[in-house]
Amino acid sequence: MSSIDFYFEDIQPFSIHSKHIQKYIKALVNSELRKCGDISVIFCSDDHLLEMNKQYLNHDYYTDIITFDYVEDNVISGDLFISFDRIVDNAEELDIELIKEVYRVVFHGVLHLVGYKDKTDEEQNLMTEKENYYLSEVDFRGKEL
């Protein structure tokens, strides 16, 4: 049995339509011909994610997401640590709705679990295309954070 769970680490919890986003995560995984395992989405602060970035990746910079991959065969499992501070800043900077930036970053992490990379320009372009495609499939009517 698989589960997609949401947690808050080092920040004030906020309301998220968990059943709604779970549905679209599962649709993404199924569309990529994989099976959904256990996925944890952990929203945290910039500082918390910066410390994780230093500790686990030896990177000394802010990021919006760190993905820990526990995928086995075609079963997609992992932990997505997401800086809510980065999401808020990105949404303001890009002038997009906060909920859409939340979904974009979550989809980005799930796409990493599916096997997509983003180290080269070509990989980044494909990742962005995939994010945009899956975002276009989401019905955001009546949904906000």
pLDDT of residue 144: 81
Q: Residue 73: is it exposed, middle or buried by C-beta count within 10 angstroms (0-12/13-18/19+)?
A: exposed
Model confidence band, residue 27 (pLDDT cutoffs 50, 70, 90): very high
Distance CA(141)–CA(94), nearest Å, equals 20
Tell me the torsion sign for CA atoms 47, 45, 134, 71.
positive
Q: What is the dihedral of CA 28, 29, 30, 36, to 10 degrees?
A: -140
All domains of the chain in start order, with CATH:
3-136 (3.40.390.30)
Q: What is the mean pLDDT of the chain?
A: 96
Torsion angle in degrees (nearest 10) through CA of 82, 86, 89, 95: -50
pLDDT of residue 142: 84
Burial pattern 36-62, b for ≥16 Cβ within 10 A else e, equals bbebbbbbbbbebbbebbeeeeeeeee
pLDDT value of residue 65:
97
Cut 0.75: pTM above it: yes
Q: Which residue bears the tokens 């589960």?
A: 3
Q: Which of 62, 53, 55 is nearest to 86 (CA)?
A: 62
DSSP-assigned beta bridge partners for residue 68? 79
- What digits encode the pLDDT tens for the residues 55-99? 999 999 999 999 999 999 999 999 999 999 999 999 999 999 999
